[in-house]
Structure 1
Amino acid sequence: MSDVVIFAPSPVLEITVEEHQADGDVHVHAGGQGVWQARMLLSLGRDVVLCSALSGETGRVLAHLLQEEGIRVAGIRRVARGGVYVHDRRDGERKPIIESGGDALTRHEQDELYGLTLRTGLDAKLVILSGPHGEGIVPADFYRRLAADLRTGGVRVVVDLAGERLDAALAGRVTVAKVSDEELLADGRIAKKSNIDQIVAAMRALHDAGAEVVVVTRAEESAFLLQDGAIHEVVAPRMEVVDSAGAGDSFVGAFCSVLAVGGSVSDAVLLGAAAGAQNVTRHGLGTGEAATIERLRELVVLRPLPGGGAPEAPAPPAREISPDDLAHLVEEATHTGEATP
């Protein structure tokens, strides 16, 4: 039995050009939402299986890269264009040169991937349904069916989706729905990211639509957790940002690493916030150091949101972490050898 199975229909081949004293430095990695989540889970000691379609030449390269990382893949092979992106980051910002999610799966390929994911997921402690890198890879109703069938099999389902894919998954009922405030805004579920009342109303609507627990992340701002009718604020330390991409996927990976071994939602959201905070200090997406994440978790504050359905409590301020403070945390974590639960 695997700890976590991730449905990642279209992983992508990442090609990034970095600054170098000569002509530049090219980095090649496996990527995409599900891969970044898997990478974090693996770094926290969890056994993870990725259910994906590996397409064409990029799919063959991805298979090797994932194997080298230790991420197990239950995949279907097909002759089609695979997902790929090429980014130029020589000036410190990501500039897309090419981005493609690849070709949509045919009806027979959809059936094959669905059966593979259901069979693998029913033997897992928890399943994450992640989105494709691109539109139209699989129909939105794919997510409703998977969520419903996995829940029928007694498996907990966590979704990190938006738009019609989120609506579909909620119709199938899920254990946890994680969404960002950017996605809420893009989906028309809120009119302003800064309006807390609108975010709270959207979270309750997502709960009513089929999510037992709802988490909303807000980039460098505090996250919100809705559980058992009450909303809590999750305040993580503010780090020096190198690259914010992938922080939400690191959050989900760490969050699920706790749930998969029987931890509470409260403990899961603390570790998720710590992993997201550390991710922004690194260039690698979904990467992290277990001991440092554990130390950062001690700095995360979970407090009732005023007016969120729970008694008010004194609100400790968010803690800012300087580069020197972070270096000290890393040194202490290395010396103590602490591991995540």
Structure 2
Amino acid sequence: MSDVTIFAPSPTLTVTLESAADDADEIHLHAGGQGVWQARMLHRLGISVTMCCTLAGEAGQVIRHLLADDAVEVVAVERRGRGSAYVQDRRGGERVTVGEETGDPLDRHDLDELYGAVIREGMRSGIVILSGPADDESLPADTYRRLAADLREAGCTVVVDLAGERLDAALEGGVDVLKISDEELRHHGLTDDSPRSVARAMAAFHHRGARTVIVTRAEEPLLLLDEEGLLEVTPPKLEVADSRGAGDSLTAGVVAGLVRGDSARTAITLGAAAGALNVTRHGLGTGEAEAIAELRERVRIRPVKEDSGASEGVSPDGLAALADTEGEA
């Protein structure tokens, strides 16, 4: 039995071309995708993971072996057809996509089998991350509503980092922790990036079904909102080598804290540290646990007042007022 179950419907085979020190070409193969990057960071933090996914075609067979190298237990629905994969050229310093395949959508039978596996493994671990597919056509968005509702009914803690229709569906089912970027908030109607406006949008998500809402804001401090109020979380600012995967590392760090019995308010410091370290690396979802632990001591947290940003908490009544004035995000 693993500590955490991850729903990763369509992991991706990534092939990357890079330049070696002697000007030769290097070719790297990895398993990738949101759920994989979350699983990789959880493993770095000493948390065991079961990944429920589909594996299709040649790409799927390679992904299975690569996940085993990352010490991820794989519960897979194997199917015919094309799996998700891409080839990127990074020899010039920037990521240039040479070729990409999103893979075939799941049919009804494969989805039913995968759904049952997530419920079974989720009940065994007690905490489930619902991650996104390779593309919007892989499976119906309503799958996330059903999974969120059924997992919580089964007593599981549900954590999501989703977007668009999948996010809306998961909120309808109800989630314990929602991690979202301010960029995604803008897709939901946010026009003002001020902390108060972001807090209003967070409160709307809170009242739509997310017990705890975490918002990343690029170079600005993170924000966390729950029944106790609003927190501002400031991680150390490190030099950025690659910002991709930082949000997934943050989510994984929060979940690692929850597994160890932390509240979300305490776990956010581990998540912020994991995300901060990940941007210094080219490997997504990577970083040494010892370095993350040291960075965690340097994460600053302060409660935020509704009107002025002073060091006072937003009351539960204040949360309701924020949501009422903003309406749905």
TM over 0.5: yes
**For 1:158-184, what per-residue CA distance to the aligned partner results, in whole angstroms no more than 9, with x for missing partners?**
001011101100100110111011111
Q: Report the counterpart of residue 268 of structure 2 in structure 1.
A: 269
Q: Report the counterpart of residue 249 of structure 2 in structure 1.
A: 250
Q: Report the counterpart of residue 287 of structure 1 in structure 2.
A: 286
Q: What TM-score, normalized by structure 2, do the two folds share?
A: 0.91
Q: Is the 8 A contact 2:206 2:226 kept in 1?
A: no
Q: 1:68-83 maps to which residues of 2 (within 5 A)?
A: 68-83=69-84
1:195 Cα deviation (Å)? 3.0
Q: Report the counterpart of residue 316 of structure 1 in structure 2.
A: none
1:308 Cα deviation (Å)? 6.8
1:191 Cα deviation (Å)? 2.0
Q: Is the 8 A contact 2:196 2:307 kept in 1?
A: no
1:168 partner amino acid: A
Q: Is the 8 A contact 1:2 1:125 kept in 2?
A: no
1:93 Cα deviation (Å)? 1.5
1:221 partner amino acid: E
Q: 1:108-123 maps to which residues of 2 (within 5 A)?
A: 108-123=109-124
Q: 1:122-201 maps to which residues of 2 (within 5 A)?
A: 122-185=123-186, 187-192=187-192, 194-201=193-200
1:218 partner amino acid: R
Structure 1: runs of 5 or more not aligned: 314-341
Q: How far apart, in 2, do the equivalents of 1:309 and 1:98 lie?
A: 49
RMSD: 1.5
1:23 Cα deviation (Å)? 4.0
Q: How far apart, in 1, do the equivalents of 2:261 and 2:254 lie?
A: 11
Q: How far apart, in 2, do the equivalents of 1:160 and 1:127 lie?
A: 12
**1:94–1:306 distance in 2 versus 1, CA, 3 Å:** farther
**For 1:91-134, what per-residue CA distance to the aligned partner results, in whole angstroms no more than 9, with x for missing partners?**
22212222332111001111111111111111112100000121
Q: How far apart, in 1, do the equivalents of 2:265 and 2:307 lie?
A: 16
1:310 Cα deviation (Å)? 8.7
In the alignment, is residue 41 of structure 1 matched against residue 42 of structure 2? yes
Using the TM superposition, name which of 267-276 and 214-223 deviates more.
Answer: 214-223
Q: Report the counterpart of residue 335 of structure 1 in structure 2.
A: none
Q: Is the 8 A contact 2:196 2:306 kept in 1?
A: no
**Partner SS, residue 97 of structure 2:** strand
1:94 partner amino acid: R
2:191 partner amino acid: A
Q: What TM-score, normalized by structure 1, do the two folds share?
A: 0.88
**For 1:31-86, what per-residue CA distance to the aligned partner results, in whole angstroms no more than 9, with x for missing partners?**
10000000010011111100000011100000011112211111100001111111
1:309 Cα deviation (Å)? 9.9
**Partner SS, residue 274 of structure 1:** helix
**For 1:195-236, what per-residue CA distance to the aligned partner results, in whole angstroms no more than 9, with x for missing partners?**
333211110111011000000012232110001151111101
Q: How far apart, in 2, do the equivalents of 1:19 and 1:189 lie?
A: 42
Q: How far apart, in 2, do the equivalents of 1:124 and 1:166 lie?
A: 23
Q: How far apart, in 1, do the equivalents of 2:255 and 2:139 lie?
A: 24
Using the TM superposition, name which of 153-162 and 222-231 deviates more.
Answer: 222-231
Q: Is the 8 A contact 1:230 1:309 kept in 2?
A: no
Q: Report the counterpart of residue 106 of structure 1 in structure 2.
A: 107
Q: Report the counterpart of residue 305 of structure 1 in structure 2.
A: 304
2:188 partner amino acid: G
Q: Is the 8 A contact 2:67 2:74 kept in 1?
A: yes
2:66 partner amino acid: L
1:13 Cα deviation (Å)? 0.4
Q: Report the counterpart of residue 317 of structure 2 in structure 1.
A: none
User: What percentage of aligned pairs have identical amino acids?
Assistant: 52
**Partner SS, residue 62 of structure 1:** helix
What is the number of equivalent residue pairs in this alignment?
Answer: 311
In the alignment, is residue 217 of structure 1 matched against residue 216 of structure 2? yes
Q: How far apart, in 1, do the equivalents of 2:53 and 2:307 lie?
A: 38
Q: Report the counterpart of residue 15 of structure 2 in structure 1.
A: 15
**1:311–1:238 distance in 2 versus 1, CA, 3 Å:** closer
Q: 1:309-320 maps to which residues of 2 (within 5 A)?
A: 312=311
